[in-house]
A = this chain, B = another copy of it.
Amino acid sequence: MSDLQTILDGIHEELSPRRGEGKVATYIPELAKVDPRKFGMAIAAVDGSTYRAGDAEEPFSIQSISKVFMLTLALGKAGEGIWTRVGREPSGSAFNSIVQLEHEAGIPRNPFINAGAIAVTDIVMAGHAPREAIGELLRFVRYLADDDTITIDDKVAKSESQTGYRNAALANFMRAYGNLTHPVEHVLGVYFHQCALAMSCVQLAKAGLFLAARGGNPLTGHNVVSARRAKRINALMLTCGHYDGSGDFAYRVGLPGKSGVGGGILAVAPGIGSIAVWSPGLNKVGNSQLGSIALEMLAARTGWSVFGA
């Protein structure tokens, strides 16, 4: 893969003039302060090599990308039993919609919309105090990325919790249906902290590498999940990872991915590697505008796609 770095550099260079496109998320005050011209990319390949371009080593708020790691934890803890509390279908609506939740009696459509992630958080919290659950996630992500410098940005977590009325609505609603077992404030506390995980593209690509490598991490030799589970998480990322832009992402990029409103996207090329991009400006459906384009270019130039060569 000697020319993978060349491809990455090329994409970065071509897109650099467009930095600043899209709209930075403003509903979390702390996120609004981010420089909209940031743009980083990193790849962690299954052969252990890594590639980077632009602001690839600067930590940013991964936001909803953390839902992938929480889901992995929940599956580890409760196995396939979690699917009684959250579905596996694309939502066909916005990431924070409450409508569907009412029609389906408090069972969120999938673990990658906010409501679903809140249910997943509740599952991970079983037997834990809130602080412990946050600690468990942090340890897990550090273990995945083999990097103990990863932290949670408390300012962002606080910023979220102060404006998180909609998530509070979702949580209370699920609790009304009995699909939340811990106190609402506790679950939201953990949820807001997971969203505030700060990671660089390089850290993120490494942390997601197990999904490309049959569930194991080639960098550390750790077995994270079974090959079967890795495939299943990838399937969920592909069908549900980009809110109401999931179909479009699959059409254009053809890789499982998960985006966050911080402007990051984690994508997986099974058997090849894990890719992280970051550019804060979002498109209309709430995914990183430049990040989506960068991944589309990468997929086109490498031929990476789960849907054929």
Asked whether, in the complex, the Cβ of A236 is within 8 Å of the Cβ of B247, the reply is: yes
Chain B residues closer than 8 Å to A271, beta-carbon distance: 308-309
Which chain B residues lie closer than 8 Å to A168 at the CB level? 168-169, 172, 184
Per-residue CB contact flags for chain A residues 196-239 toward chain B (1 = under 8 Å, else 0) read 00000000000000011010000000000001001110111011
**Does A270 sit within 8 A of B, measured CB to CB?**
yes
The answer to whether A230 touches B92, judged by C-beta atoms less than 8 angstroms apart, is no
Interchain CA distance A99-B170 in the complex, whole Å: 12
Q: Within the assembled complex, what's the spacing in Å between the Cα atoms of A165 and B238?
A: 33
Contact check: which of B100, B169, B235, B308 meets A173 at CB < 8 Å? B169
Is the Cβ of B212 less than 8 Å from the Cβ of A307? Answer: no
Expressed in whole angstroms, the Cα–Cα distance for A211 and B309 within the complex equals 11
Check B166–A176 contact: CB distance below 8 A: yes
- Say yes or no: is A91 at the interface (Cβ < 8 Å to chain B): yes
Tell me what chain A mostly uses at the interface: helix, strand, loop, or mixed.
helix
Which range holds the interface residue count of chain A? 35 or more
Partner of A214 from the list B211, B270, B309 (CB cut-off 8 Å) is B309
The answer to whether A227 touches B308, judged by C-beta atoms less than 8 angstroms apart, is yes
Distance, CA A212 to CA B306, complexed state (A)? 11
Interface string of A167-187 (1 = CB under 8 A from B): 011111101100000001000
* Contact among B165, B184, B234, B307 for A234, CB-based, below 8 A: B307
A158 located at the interface, meaning its Cβ lies under 8 Å from any Cβ of chain B in the complex: no
Q: Is A103 an interface residue (CB 8 A)?
A: yes
Stretch of A9-17, A123-131, A144-152, A250-258 lying at the B interface: A250-258
The yes or no answer to A19 lying at the interface (CB within 8 A) is no
Contacts of A250 in B (CB 8 A): 235-236, 238-239
| A50-58, A64-72, A82-90, A287-295 - the one binding chain B | A82-90
Specify which of B103, B165, B234, B307 is in contact with A235 (CB 8 Å cutoff).
B307
Identify 7 residue pairs between A and B in the complex whose beta-carbon atoms are under 8 Å apart, listed by A's number: A90-B92, A92-B100, A214-B308, A227-B309, A232-B307, A235-B247, A239-B246
